[in-house]
Structure 1
């Protein structure tokens, strides 16, 4: 690891202490302290191209978020290694249980609004398109695929068609806001890990938070209502459908990780099966047609 750190000019040749940070599933995250400063060094541990990660776009988007005060300041980027160096943010990493508190959900809605109101990001992110690329990778490389995964392609087509009716355009989104990507310093929330960031439907951001943090439908309604400032049934339905697509798409992310990532000790297959089982229950449940209708009509 020292050889990587020595290639970063602001760390090279200085006395330093290095601590590995937990939680990363596509990177090794190191807390590096040198005289007068503390940084987080993110070193890729996955096949970025297969996971649809563009490190140049991540760098540009993280820079923009840092300058806006919504993320950590970015201090260096070693392009040939995909290594990003950001300032260490003091504070507490949120847990999923924190997002079940209404006050915290309102704060989350606020930081999402602020991010979405900023300058356009360096690329776009559309889970329908990302999932199609993931699926081609899984099939071409003969990775494991959950049984009956392909049975739900007709439902995916119906969801995509319904969401086109009341599309509101795209905004700069994080697209991976699991609880651990929020840092609370006691006064404000800031965001970390912009690997999947890109311009996207804001309801994907909200639906992805709901699905990644295992929130209830009541929590989703509160989050969407706080974001828009009033209750909008079609936006709540839209966020839920995009949260469903989040589960279905990230299932394939886990399948690719299962087949390629041997550097991180994590059961990607079981994680992905959990996402798939949850998505399958919604695809086959009695409420899907109602959600499609709700998303396509005005309140």
Structure 2
């Protein structure tokens, strides 16, 4: 993206100025901040700080989501993931405020072998034997979101159909005794959280991490990166080459794809209900719900 050439302290976002004032250790680590460039992000506000001592990423929580995330659990899991060489180490973290500072990453690219590189990264994480703080249960996550939206007035027919489908999935898994072995999981493998350079792949934003079904990270990666069939094969083959456990069966992975889309749709509807951009988030939800129902029709 183009970088401004004449940014002055007066041009820096007020939230960044407030964070620097509240956390003087950040200024000691960065030196004087010359620029604060907003980065993409839905859950948090992220800025690339250009400062006397280098470039940094500053993560600030949005008001709407500030109290909904276990930041202490996130910090514990981030330390573990950094030890595995998968996460950018925290230079400064305030769990109570949700403020995080890391070094910035430059020379980002989207290589042709991205599916394989993501598969190797997740295989290393899932097969590490580490124990993350917290648990991410996809069905419980869906149920909690659905309860929060019980009075939501938009899309009533779609939500009733979705509820019946998710309950059917839960019953099928209960009958089949498909309880997975839980593994340390990132929980939000969207493209914006996967920073790829010529030499490394870094996973950022560990706020939804926890012990989970390995199918969650796998399905979410395939969906959010838009892998075609050949890329999905490459991704799963790379994962299989390093992970301790086998790749989930096709039927379970397909169900998890639908769960991930359903949860993403409900998350977007939660944003609408909280007063955020209605057109943007309602459109996001409709796209995800359509994928769930299209997948059901074609299965």
Indicate the TM-score class for this superposition, using the shorter chain for normalisation: 0.7 to 0.9
CA gap of 1:78–1:280, structure 2 versus 1, over 3 A, is: same
Q: For residue 138 of structure 1, report the CA deviation from its aligned partner.
A: 1.5
Compute the TM-score of the two structures, normalised by the length of structure 1.
0.82
Aligned ranges 1:55-66 → 2 under 5 Å: 55-66=71-82
* Partner of residue 269 from structure 1, selected from 277, 282, 294: 282
Structure 2 residue 101 is matched with structure 1 residue 85: yes
CA gap of 1:146–1:22, structure 2 versus 1, over 3 A, is: farther
Corresponding residue number in structure 1 for 2:25: 10
- Distance in 1 separating the partners of 2:220 and 2:21: 37
Between 1 and 2, higher relative CO (CA 8 Å, sep ≥ 6) is seen in 1
| Structure 1 SS opposite 2:75 | helix
Corresponding residue number in structure 2 for 1:110: 120
Does structure 2 retain, via aligned residues, the 8 Å contact 1:207–1:242? yes
* Partner of residue 163 from structure 2, selected from 153, 166, 180: 153
- Distance in 1 separating the partners of 2:279 and 2:72: 26
Does structure 2 retain, via aligned residues, the 8 Å contact 1:43–1:82? yes
Aligned ranges 1:109-188 → 2 under 5 Å: 109-118=119-128, 119-139=130-150, 142=152, 144-145=154-155, 147-163=157-173, 165-188=177-200
- Distance in 2 separating the partners of 1:5 and 1:265: 32
Corresponding residue number in structure 2 for 1:45: 62
- Distance in 2 separating the partners of 1:63 and 1:6: 26
| Structure 1 SS opposite 2:119 | helix
CA gap of 1:155–1:215, structure 2 versus 1, over 3 A, is: same
- Distance in 2 separating the partners of 1:214 and 1:15: 40
* Partner of residue 216 from structure 1, selected from 225, 228, 243: 228
Does structure 2 retain, via aligned residues, the 8 Å contact 1:21–1:29? yes
| Structure 1 SS opposite 2:271 | helix
| Structure 2 SS opposite 1:187 | coil
Q: How many residues align?
A: 276
Unaligned runs of 5+ in 2: 1-14
Corresponding residue number in structure 2 for 1:68: 84
Does structure 2 retain, via aligned residues, the 8 Å contact 1:62–1:194? yes
Corresponding residue number in structure 2 for 1:296: none
- Distance in 1 separating the partners of 2:89 and 2:169: 38
Structure 2 residue 211 is matched with structure 1 residue 199: yes
More deviation, 171-180/220-229: 220-229
Corresponding residue number in structure 2 for 1:294: none
- Give the alignment's Cα RMSD to 1 decimal: 2.6
Does structure 2 retain, via aligned residues, the 8 Å contact 1:121–1:199? yes
| Structure 2 SS opposite 1:53 | coil
| Structure 2 SS opposite 1:21 | strand
- Distance in 2 separating the partners of 1:81 and 1:211: 32
* Partner of residue 250 from structure 1, selected from 222, 244, 264: 264
More deviation, 2-11/41-50: 41-50
Q: For residue 26 of structure 1, report the CA deviation from its aligned partner.
A: 1.1
| Structure 1 SS opposite 2:27 | coil
